[in-house]
A and B are shown apart, each in its own frame.
Chain A
Amino acid sequence: MSKEKNKYQSRRDFVRKAGKLAVILPLALIPVALVKKTSAAGFVWQIDPFKCTQCGQCKTNCVLTPSASKCVHAFQMCGYCDLCGGYLRQGVKTISTGAENQLCPTGAITRKFVEEPYFEYTINEALCDGCAKCVKGCADFGNGSLYMQIRHDKCVNCNDCSIARTCPSDAIIRVPAGSPYLQKDKEKNNG
């Protein structure tokens, strides 16, 4: 009787040990398989301004409200035009800072006179909601100096960026955390 009981115990032990081995093995194999695919620094999300089509989904699809992706101005690229496609609505009667003339729905772009005939445009980031209307205007009629970037003081760096999921031109990519911005003027000069 007692011998039989022992046998029973040992079979159970065998199953237990085999099971334990069966779960430990894959767990041990995962780091081995990922040795070459692991990086210590990590990644953040960023918009490739050369792929961006200014569709406006950044504004609506970010998990944050307002969106963490905002308009950035590359001053070095700007033409400082009086008739700015990013600042003024199409077909305005007068070129002025009147609210009815502004393209930006939140009035986040400020226009400042520099010298005849140049005007400087700056983005007030606190007001910008990432609708990309000015970016589209600037790309269509100007130098393309306005572009979208994900601001990392706002971005919570989701595991799976919800804008990236819907971005139709796959412009949102993972970039190394060490160089978290794809600045249009710098990228262009490099390339």
Chain B
Amino acid sequence: MVDRLFQKREFQIRMKKTLPYIIFVLLLCWHAVLFAQDRFPRPEFESGYVYATNQMPLQRAPGWEYFDVAVLLGALTLTTWLALKKRSRQGLIWMSVFSLAYFGFYREGCICAVGSVQNVALALFNDGYTIPLSALLFFMIPLLFALAYGRVFCAGVCPLGAIQELTGFQPVKLPKKIEAVLASVPFIYLALAVLFASTDSQFIICRYDPFIGIFRLDAPYTMIIFGILLLLAGIFVNRPYCRYLCPYGVLLNVFSRFAGKHLTITPAECTNCRLCEEVCPYDAIIPSDSELNREEPAKPRKRFILYFLLIPVFAVTGAAIFYTLAPSLAGVNSNVSLARAIRSEKESGIESVSKAVIAFKESGKTEAQLFAEEATITDRFRKSSPWAGVFLGISLGIGMLSLTIRSKRIEYLPDQGKCYSCGRCFKYCPIKVQ
């Protein structure tokens, strides 16, 4: 009895020692199966058979990308002229039609400045990726124009803005509180998009572009429904994507605030007639200051100091929140989610349910390699996601700080951050210049 037990034990030990080798040999066999192509010799034809050749069609020549850049420059210049100099709403509408046709339906929404944020983020933080010059130019040029002339890019060049501008028929104003909450979404969207792009995980702006399905007439049906719903909502709440989602709009907003020249509501001097007060669907007209409801200067000053001191608090809180969120954010990366799927399959004892897991097992990569990759990616997320939190915290802080600042205004001016330079207000101004 004891002898048998001993034998069993010895067998187990021997098994333990040889098992790795057995697995190794099995793996080698598996590799042999995997790479055992070229099984049959190439035939020696006697009938004079000539090998057929494949057509390898090329894409649009790369030079055309620079044509797109030239079109972008031309469209921006023309829009600037129409908005700032000619002051023609009709002209801006025609500009929108052109951009929708060219950048939207002809170029099928690619290449676009909104998505180029991700290319820049990916290139900045990854050594393996080189950014196409055209993508870099598409990122820079609209921002430079915003710095010089305000958001003219939104007015008539961006195809996403154009499709919404052309379908916004019945502007309805949202309550200010709802507007303020929704307007914070683009900041979060931008932070996440840059985070996911810089960790080489996903380009969420492109993936969840609501109108690309309409441009291509081909997309997952959920995205087409989302796009149509946005357009329908946009009939009343104009430009819902630009206002409540667009991540590039955040950058344009900031740059436009420091614009050298900007579209004006009135061509000459404002007479404070208040006719334009209610016409902006984007709530981007700041009325001239009334003497009423002005507080004692000491009160806002105290609030200003308090909010100023709150900025670092917000930043640290944001960083802490995003640091704790990092592991779940890392799940967006396909390698991480694959590793998690494999691990959960192992734990639950179910084998290879998803296509991805089956395909991974056939790819010849080992699980250890994948898990190591998962660890490095999760680590990257831990290091970089707090910065997204810092960005959001500082944005929130500055946003609150700006609430305490009262500017003395003696005329009706567009809010340079929010104004899309769409020119709707032109016709309401009674002052005409010959």
Contact = CB atoms under 8 A, between A and B. Distances in A.
A16 B338 CA distance: 49
A21 B129 CA distance: 29
A172 B363 CA distance: 13
B119 to A, nearest CB: 7
Contacts of A7: none
A53 B362 contact: yes
A86 to B, nearest CB: 12
B57 A157 contact: no
A122 B108 CA distance: 32
B239 interface: no
A133 to B, nearest CB: 14
Given A42-B132, A72-B54, A169-B365, A156 B216 contact: yes
Contacts of B135: 159
A16 B262 CA distance: 15
A23 B118 contact: no
Contact of A81 (B40, B136, B365): B40
A48 to B, nearest CB: 11
Contact of A143 (B38, B49, B129, B258): B38
B218 A64 contact: yes
B137 to A, nearest CB: 10
Given A37-B130, A38-B133, A158 B110 contact: yes
B348 interface: no
Contacts of A12: 407
A107 interface: no
Contact of B207 (A51, A57, A152, A160): A160
Interface in B30-71: 37-43, 45-47, 49, 51-54, 56-59, 62, 65
Interface string B344-386: 0000000000011111101101000000000000000000000
A34 interface: yes
A108 interface: no
A21 B320 CA distance: 29
- Of B108, B127, B359, chain A has the most CB atoms within 10 Å of the CB of B359
A159 B360 contact: no
A6 interface: no
A14 interface: no
Contacts of B255: 23, 27
A167 B359 CA distance: 9
A42 to B, nearest CB: 4
A38 B130 contact: yes
A74 B52 CA distance: 9
Nearest to A164: B334
Given A34-B124, A143-B37, A168-B355, A114 B129 contact: no
Interface residues of A, number: 69
B254 interface: yes
A156 B58 contact: no
Given A34-B131, A53-B363, A142 B110 contact: no
Contacts of A162: 207
B206 A168 contact: no
Contacts of B254: 23
Given A31-B140, A39-B130, A177 B59 contact: yes
A1 interface: no
A105 interface: no
B123 interface: yes
B45 A118 contact: yes
Interface string A108-129: 0000001100101010000000
A77 B24 CA distance: 30
B118 A159 contact: yes
A169 B34 CA distance: 14
A77 B51 CA distance: 10
B45 A55 contact: no
Contacts of B41: 79
Contacts of B362: 53, 55, 169
Interface in A53-103: 53, 55-57, 63-65, 72-81
B136 A160 contact: no
Contact of A16 (B39, B49, B218, B258): B258
B37 A79 contact: no
B336 to A, nearest CB: 13
Interface string B215-237: 01011000000000000000000
B162 interface: no
Interface of A: 12, 16, 19-20, 23-24, 27, 30-31, 33-34, 37-44, 51, 53, 55-57, 63-65, 72-81, 114-115, 118, 120, 122, 139, 141-144, 151-153, 155-160, 162, 165-170, 174, 177-178, 180-181, 183
Given A63-B212, A80-B43, A168-B357, 14 more contacts: A31-B136, A39-B132, A42-B132, A43-B130, A43-B132, A72-B54, A75-B51, A76-B42, A152-B58, A155-B59, A159-B110, A159-B203, A177-B59, A180-B56
15 contacts: A31-B136, A37-B130, A39-B130, A39-B133, A63-B216, A63-B218, A73-B54, A78-B42, A114-B49, A120-B49, A152-B57, A158-B110, A165-B202, A167-B334, A183-B54
